Amino acid sequence: MIELKNITKKYDEFIAVNNLNLSVEKGEIFGFIGPNGAGKTTTIKMMGGILAPTAGTVVIAGVRMDENPEKAKSKIGFIPDRPYLYEKLTGMEFLRFTADLYNVDEKAFFRKAEEKLSLFSLTDWPDELIEAYSHGMKQRLIMAAALIHDPEVIIVDEPTVGLDPAAVKMLKELFKQLAAEGVTIFMSTHTLKVAEDICGRIGIIRKGELIAAGTTEDLKRESHITDADLEQVFLSLTEEG
């Protein structure tokens, strides 16, 4: 459902992502972990069609991002690490704005908006200005907007940063449920526990290179640490030298 073929990104001479190959199957939750500056956000932006790769190809649900970006992007719900909200809009107006970007038709919109507002516990505040929303409500609205067109693929950069434990739990349950319905989820995270709890496979990126990918069990085996938890595996695989 998501395919990265020999993806490289250079910022001038600096290689942020180096010849990365990865494929994520339909209904899979793939976790992307790595130290700060490893290239997670750069990879995710290329996957979402926000940044053009220096070399290589991104294919989403069989559609090449470089050849048909609109079609490829229409299949994606994208949640960036630093989302932008128009604070002078109401929650409902923001959902409408996002739905229009994705060509969700008028009739479907009201049904979907109601469904997403309910899913993210925002039903009582659709007509409040976003600037009056709490931090948590803003985060939930961003999710609601990203899912307004019922995307086949969700790409999300560090979704649990700034969420309280209840919101993290809700998000994990939601992702598991969506994956069970056939949605493909690619998420970067700092929180190894979250990755371990919900991701079928995990990829570890270090200095722009994918150094390991597999189930938690595969990674443990690869790190040659018996009785390791994911944190030890991560530290062992990403340590210098």
Ligand X SMILES: Nc1ncnc2c1ncn2[C@@H]1O[C@H](COP(=O)(O)OP(=O)(O)O)[C@@H](O)[C@H]1O
Residue 31 near ligand X by CB under 6 A: no
- Give 184's Cβ-side CA count (13 Å radius): 13
Residue 48 near ligand X by CB under 6 A: no
Residue 41 Cβ vs ligand X, minimum distance, rounded to whole Å: 3
Pick between residue 44 and residue 72 the one whose CB is nearest to Mg ion: 44
Residue 50 near ligand X by CB under 6 A: no
Among 31, 39, 48, 77, binds ligand X (CB under 6 A): 39
Residue 42 near Mg ion by CB under 5 A: no
**Other CB atoms closer than 10 Å to residue 191's CB: what's the count?**
16
* Tokens encoding 55: 């070399």
With 0-12 / 13-18 / 19 or more C-beta atoms within 10 angstroms meaning exposed / middle / buried, residue 235 is: middle
CA distance 181 to 184: 9
Task: Choose from ligand X, Mg ion, none: what does 90 bind? Cβ within 5-8 Å by kind.
Answer: none
Task: Choose from Mg ion, ligand X, none: what does 73 bind? Cβ within 5-8 Å by kind.
Answer: none
Q: Which region, judged by CB under 6 A, interacts with ligand X, from 35-43, 87-95, 144-152, 189-197?
A: 35-43
Tokens 């938890």 — which residue? Answer: 229
* Tokens encoding 208: 């722009």
For residues 59 and 102, is the Cβ–Cβ distance under 8 A?
A: no
Which of 187, 153, 202 lies closest to 40, judged by CA?
187
User: How far is C-alpha 200 from the geometric centre of its chain's CA atoms?
Assistant: 15
Residue 16 near ligand X by CB under 6 A: yes
Three-class DSSP category at 120: coil
> Which of positions 167-196 make contact with Mg ion (CB under 5 A)?
none
Residue 46 Cβ vs ligand X, minimum distance, rounded to whole Å: 10
101, containing H or E segment: helix 91-101
Residue 41 near Mg ion by CB under 5 A: yes
Q: Which region, judged by CB under 6 A, interacts with ligand X, from 18-26, 30-38, 172-180, 211-219?
A: 30-38
Q: Which region, judged by CB under 5 A, interacts with Mg ion, from 41-49, 59-67, 203-211, 230-238?
A: 41-49
Q: Interface residues with ligand X (CB under 6 A)?
A: 11, 14, 16, 34, 36-42
Q: Interface residues with Mg ion (CB under 5 A)?
A: 40-41
